[in-house]
Structure 1
């Protein structure tokens, strides 16, 4: 049973909006594009591993929590790609979708890769990340008076990540090896009571809280207005006769504003005023802005100049 489904992160959505609204000539445009590319690759890798789970014969009951996020007592965050709970153990997975020749030096906790072009790149040590999560999870289990082995592993989502000898003895394998490792772990550990397992899964769900990553938003340089979904390079649309028109491709769309309201939420937040609405969507008239705001699925508070609008979840 999937208790927590995997979804596109708010960070990726925000960066995609920035790329859509930022001129290609902007000095940071390529950096934002590269960030989006990496996030998409990571998400695709996670989906590849999710698909592998579907082909496995899993012991019932079992629970999945994908992209679990929480904060510990010290104010630091924990983000785990996948938590798998079954009666025999709890498994934490760190999923990597990276290519090239991968190397690891345990003495220096140094994880590197050599790309196809021969470039050497340093990367965050995933084993230290996992060990930190394991310590937190064991403390939580102890607090809940629940005894369950905590396992962890790094899973490579692509066969194009070549592991070198430095990884010997480390909990890392390609996604196709998940079946073998899962069976080995199941044979090694004895099952616990079903009721206790579900109770602990509910504890984890109650602790899940999305961690919002800070993204630098270049508001001053971004294209304002309602953006044409067909044209590239952030082509603004014009509004007349209750419709949005694209002057470049001729697209006519009544719902363009409702769609781009998500852009506002990601870049600014859930609260709007007549002024902030006009500034973001490049609307000159306060009266036109007021009429448009009345048509949107928003919750209004206050009156006249002090009126605020909130996006409903």
Structure 2
């Protein structure tokens, strides 16, 4: 059964907003777009496995998507973890098109697509690290030693899988998603004895969900940009163009002609996700592109947001919008 479903990450949501609020001419725009496309591909890869995961025995499996667990001063991530009474399975999902050459001499993945060659980190090495850290994490939390299998799944059925050196067989480590059920049955035949009790599985499930910490990467730092680089103004909820103009207490889009009353609410949500969960009136004037402090105060007050006052300055808390 699915315990933790695959969901669009906060990173993808923030990347979408960054991409929307960056000029195509900005030096960082292509880098942001590339990171967004890669993140979406990863999410789609995981979602595409739903059909194959649904074929697994529901009573015997506990399936977790996108776990991010603390270990020491850092974290490690697992795309998919499957818990059974006799073994655990860690899956690294890659949604990559083209010819995929797993170079096990230099531990890299070389992708050739439309005559363009790209090099990626080695998924097999990534999986080895994740498995090692998960074993350490289990030991830290006093769980009994249990067999852990690991598998890289290529979710695009049209991708061609190859490896070098040719005498090194990676088929036990890498397969297409269509082979997941057969591989799972192989693991079941190999691990027939139950190691972990139902009680301990429930305990482990609670612990995994408790310790999971969704990544909230500082994208401004990652791309060496600042909030000043963002296109300011209220985004049209219909065509996404920025800015809308405010006239007669309504928002009007000059591009598509759409008008509405509450377009600023979504823009404030974008501010909370990208910049800060709190906003002072003067900063709100800048971000919404409204010169009147009185108008901005009225809009914020109408949302009935909690606020804090320090001296003459009032700051509104946007957490409820996110």
After TM superposition, the structure 1 stretch with the greater mean CA deviation from structure 2, 134-143 or 285-294, is 134-143
Q: 2:139 aligns with which of 139, 142, 145?
A: 142
TM-score w.r.t. the length of structure 1 is: 0.91
RMSD of aligned C-alpha atoms? 2.0
Q: Which residue of 2 aligns with 1:130?
A: 127
1:24 Cα shift?
A: 2.5
Q: Is the 8 A contact 1:4 1:65 kept in 2?
A: yes
Alpha-carbon distance in 2 for matches of 1:88, 1:59: 15
Question: Closer, same or farther in 2 for the Cα pair 1:57/1:4, shift >3 Å?
Answer: closer
Structure 1 unaligned runs (5+)? Answer: none
Match of 2:53 in 1: 53
Which position in structure 1 is the counterpart of 2:157? 159
Distance 1:275 1:264 in 2: 14
Specify the alignment match of 1:121 in structure 2.
118
Dislocated runs of 4+, deviation >6 Å: none
1:65 is aligned to 64
Instruction: Give how far 1:294 is off.
Output: 0.9
The aligned residue for residue 17 of structure 2 is 17
* Among 200, 218, 230, the residue aligned to 1:222: 230
Task: Give 1:221 deviation, angstroms.
Answer: 3.5
Shift of 1:219: 3.0
Number of residues paired by the alignment?
309
Contact conserved, 1:243 with 1:252, CA < 8 A, in 2?
Answer: yes
**TM-score, L = length of structure 2:** 0.89
Alignment of 1:1-313 (within 5 A): 1-54=1-54, 56-73=55-72, 75-117=73-115, 119-143=116-140, 144-166=142-164, 168-169=169-170, 170-189=172-191, 190-191=193-194, 192-216=196-220, 217-231=225-239, 234-296=241-303, 298-302=305-309, 305-310=312-317, 311-312=319-320
Distance 1:219 1:92, change over 3 A: same
Deviations 1:244-265 (A, max 9, x none): 1112322111221112222112
SS of alignment partner, residue 201 of structure 2:
helix
Is contact 1:22–1:223 with CA below 8 Å preserved after alignment? yes
Structure 2: distance between partners of 1:53 and 1:293? 45
TM superposition shift of 1:93: 0.8
Aligned residues of 2:10 and 2:216 also touching (Cα < 8 A): yes
Which stretches in structure 2 are left out of the alignment for 5+ residues?
Answer: none
Alpha-carbon distance, 1:205 to partner: 1.2
How far is the alpha carbon of 1:284 from its aligned partner? 1.0
